[in-house]
Structure 1
Amino acid sequence: MHDVLVIGGGNAALCAALMAREAGASVLLLEASPREWRGGNSQHTRNLRCMHDAPQDVLLESYPEEEFWQDLLKVTGGNTDEPLARLVIRASATCRPWMRRHGVRFQPSLAGTLHLSRTNAFFMGGGKALVNAYYRSAENLGVEIRYESPVDRLELREGRFVAAHAGGRRIEAKACVLACGGFESNREWLREAWGRNERGEWPADNFLIRGTRFNQGVLLRHMMEQGADIIGDPTQAHCVAIDARAPLYDGGIVTRVDAVSLGVMVNRDGERFYDEGEDFWPKRYAIWGRLVALQPGQIGYCIIDSKAIGRFMPPVFPGVKANTLPDLARALGLPERRFMQTLDAYNAACRVGSFDHTVLDDCHTEGLAPPKTHWARPIDQAPFFGYALRPGITFTYLGLRTDDRARVHFDRRPSDNLFVAGEMMAGNVLGRGYTAGVGMSIGTAFGRIAGTQAARAALGEAAHAVA
């Protein structure tokens, strides 16, 4: 029997396994995917949002706790647990030396990643390099890893973990960490959550999955059926508007189109539907998937002109190009007359001041609904470009309620040997909304906590200290 069983194979699971092993526990990690697809959604990440009070290696200036908290408060609309959120924020200030010890390397922010050089530490080689570094370290430390080992159910006794069942095998452990993600890859569950809209459509049928196909939510559903305390809205998710040509699974970050704040977004009827310049893109990019999901056919179109080229990270697919706006409308299959009415009204409403996409500038619209609050410039310089966008689900926010010791709760009573980390509990901090890199902050913080607490539960409190 192992001391600690970790179920999952992404960032949070690996942090938990490493911490538990460092604390002296024997650890078994079960990853549902084959080895070549290991890492869950973490393989598609690229940075970690970090609190810091002064410049630190790849991080510029400072990003104090209160600013981080206010950023999170704003994007969630207050739908967050402040003590747990602040725990994550403070943990983000101290985790990088530990990450380096396990082989993770950092680099300065990339060109085109606006506003992140001060707030986010980028992984050298991206999320896949981070995941590989953690797996190497785990193997070197003696963590046993089994791939293609999805867990079907848990044996629980009065809120205590007894054993896991995976492919007909019963696996006992003294403590367990659940870190196997949400249900974003489960199309039927997405359909159930979103239902039909007023147009009779099933919105979820048009969702693309930015990350792993293996996050089916099997254990999340099982834990709900076992009476675990749940938190979150099943329709809330890290949901980004991504290129409609992206693959169904594992498109990752390269399918994102970061040009929205530099142009306008219209739906398939050729109408704008939200303020493209509401705030800095890293604080708003993750609202656009949900906004597009609410549009007819769950599709939107980002329209820019040549002035925007070179000011955003180029996506993997080129945009549709045309020399006139009517030609662009026809190329995108949009109603030309309504499209031109929308673009003409927008262009006429622009009040251009000192354009600067690195600040909340004074370029705005007047007398237009919805407005464009910043970076509003007429779309008038050929050639013109359009990107068809669909909702891209990264991870869902419905999850297990927890506390500052990462414990799973049953009827508000914490388990003493069952813990949770990562996307499976991110809804405690992210009731809605998102800001760049905070998912990795949550997974790293709670993965480390869960691993430490699981080792203590397995081996006894006196034998361990937080690494």
Structure 2
Amino acid sequence: MTRSDVTDFDVVVVGAGVAGLTAAVAAAEAGARVAVAERAPRGDAGGNTRHTEAFLRMKSIDEVSDDFEEKLLGDFQGHPDPGLLVESLRDPASWSAPLRSLSVADQRVVATLTERAGPTLRWIAGHGVRFERLATAFLTTSTTRLMPVGGGLALVDALTAAAERLGVAFRHQTTARGLLRADGRVAGVRTSRGELRGRVVLACGGYEGSAELMARYHGRGGRLTRPVARGGHYNKGEGLLMALDAGAATAGDFAYFHAEPVDPRSGAAEAAVFSFPYGILVNRDGRRFADEAPGPVDAWYERVARRIHAQPDGIGYAVFDAGCADVPNLSAAVRTDRPPVAADTLEELAARLGIPADALAETVAEFNRACPDGEFRPLEPDGLATAGLVPPKSNWARPIERAPFHAYPVIASNVFTFGGLKTNDRAEVLDTDGDPIPGLYAAGELTGMYYTNYTGSTSVLRGAVFGRIAGAEAARR
């Protein structure tokens, strides 16, 4: 019998991004027989992890950032029942079903992520990945970051190699379609190539690659987004649907996704335009619609991208003049492989962008009149703010007046969806009564942790931490 004929395993992992691979390696290290079902062919496997730089919100390989827990728990989660929140202060063993299944950030999950981040990175480093503090596309920053040398692809390559050395059986071009259940437990997955039996770790990403689910949860605006990278196109949401069918509870905000401003003309992974704080943003009508520079770009780009998404046809234009050439290393903040739209006059620029020339000229003139005198400090919030302008520009406000002019079209791409499965600190999927579903674990983007604003550089980290936990727990049980 060949490995491809085997269908009985101890642990079946769905997905081969960072969450799935850490789960597979951890389970195999614990002595389990492990299979990984991955929709993509081998050369494209790895989901979003394969295409990201994999920023990590760490001060060092052993310490998370100073604001780590504060940002995750401070994310606005609506107005939950205060009676339930009071109950949450008691012994978790006494919690009611509504509290156990409540869609809010679980403090125990966040604490586990904080405590296990460093040890998990050390463990990954033991499999051949180096972590360093490297340059990012953010010219202004609000936190500390590490990155794996070689980005997310280095994680995928190293962990895949480790898994194969440990005897993990990979089933590429194999899509999980549903959960197998027996005697009240999850007992495996039904796939496009037959059944794989064992305890299940779902690590197959969100639903940004599904037009139907994007329309279901995000309405008409769902069709105006696209995955930020090719890996997201493989994320069709089957993991979410099969778990919901098994009675899973949810967490995270299904009305939102992690938005990144990208050039829609480009097919490159993460063709981001992070330079917009040094210009102005206008919509198809030639009008400004957002404060382009509320603070450091790494902390605010998502919220600005959401404003872009809300504009007609979900598109905006970042407009600059020749003066932006004095911003140090500005080209590093532009990741698109397409050149800007350039012109010698604003009228010509408007014509090339397909927006009303008179409206753009009026918008620029109004903006220029509101710009103050003062020192321009491009690498830190400088308080150089407009006066009497709505919406304001809070930093780096300088007139747009020196030819040549140029612009980038910008849309809000979908990095990953916020709504997902509710899990506990052992990566067990909880049902709608707040109890673990026997035999079912989940990690990564499929799980809900974020609500209105993504805590930057934590997604790969949570995938790695809870993937490792899920694999070890599934193997142990």
TM-score, normalised via structure 2 length: 0.86
Shift of 1:118: 6.0
For the residues of structure 2 that align with 1:290 and 1:216, how far apart are their CA atoms?
Answer: 22
Q: Which amino acid aligns with 1:401?
A: K
Q: Which runs of 4+ in 1 moved over 3 A?
A: 62-65, 70-83, 115-118
Query: SS of the residue aligned with 2:222?
Result: helix
Once residues 320 and 368 of structure 2 are traced to their aligned partners in structure 1, the CA distance between those partners, rounded to angstroms, is 12
Q: Percent identity?
A: 35
Whether 1:321 aligns to 2:342 is yes
Match of 1:236 among 252, 256, 261: 256
Q: In structure 2, what is the Cα distance between the partners aligned to 1:204 and 1:329?
A: 28
Equivalent residue number for residue 92 of structure 2: none
Counterparts of 1:430 and 1:452, CA distance in 2: 24
Q: Is the 8 A contact 1:284 1:435 kept in 2?
A: no
The answer for the alignment partner of 2:306 in structure 1 is: 290
1:409 aligns with 2:409: no
Query: Does residue 70 in structure 1 map to residue 95 in structure 2?
Result: no
User: 1:277 Cα shift?
Assistant: 0.9
Q: How far has the Cα of 1:21 moved from its partner?
A: 1.4
CA distance in 2, matches of 1:51, 1:158: 43
* Superposition deviation, residue 63 in structure 1: 6.1
CA contact (8 A) 1:30 1:149 kept: yes
Aligned residue type for 1:442: R
Q: 1:265 to 1:81 in 2, by over 3 A?
A: farther
CA distance, structure 2, for counterparts of residue 87 and residue 343 of structure 1: 49
1:363 and 1:158, CA in 2 relative to 1: closer, same or farther beyond 3 A?
A: farther
1:262 matched to 2:290? The reply is no
The answer for the alignment partner of 2:460 in structure 1 is: 440
User: Does the aligned pair in 2 maintain the 1:353–1:362 contact within 8 Å?
Assistant: no
Give 1:15's aligned residue.
Answer: 22
Deviations 1:401-428, CA, capped at 9 Å, x for gaps: 1111111111211124211100000x2x
Q: Secondary structure at the match of 1:257?
A: coil
Aligned to 2:321: 305
| Counterpart position of 1:275 | 291
- In structure 1, the residue matched to 2:352 is 331
The equivalent of 1:421 in structure 2 is 443
* Aligned mates of 1:113, 1:274 — CA distance in 2: 19
**Cα distance in 2 between the residues matched to 1:306 and 1:10:** 42
Equivalent position SS for 1:233: coil
Give the secondary-structure state (helix, strand or coil) at the position aligned to 2:472. Answer: helix
Q: CA deviation at 1:396?
A: 0.8
RMSD: 2.2
Cα separation, partners in 2 of 1:146 and 1:117, compared to 1, 3 Å: farther
Aligned-residue offset at 1:246: 2.7
Please name the residue that 2:52 is paired with.
Answer: 45
Is 2:196 the partner of 1:189? no
1:109–1:117: 8 Å Cα contact kept in structure 2?
no
Residue 96 of structure 2 is matched in structure 1 by none
Residues paired across the two proteins, number: 437
1:122 to 119, 123, 147: 147
| Separation in 1, partners of 2:139, 2:308 | 23
Task: List per-residue Cα deviations over 1:179-220 (Å, max 9, x = no partner).
Answer: 00111000122122222xxxxxx3323322213211100121
Q: Which position in structure 2 is the counterpart of 1:90?
A: 115
Q: Is 1:177 paired with 2:193?
A: no
2:97 corresponds to which residue? Answer: none
CA distance in structure 1 between the partners assigned to 2:137 and 2:204 by the alignment = 32
The answer for the alignment partner of 1:198 in structure 2 is none
Q: Which residue of 2 aligns with 1:430?
A: 450
- Structure 2, unpaired ranges of 5+: 1-7, 79-103
Residues 392-407 of structure 1 mapped to structure 2, 5 A cutoff: 392-407=413-428
Contact 2:206 2:240 in 1 (8 A): yes
Q: Which sections of structure 1, spanning at least 5 residues, go unmatched?
A: 196-201, 458-467
Residue 377 and residue 106 in structure 1: after superposition, are their counterparts in 2 closer, same or farther (change >3 A)? same
- Are 2:164 and 1:144 aligned? no
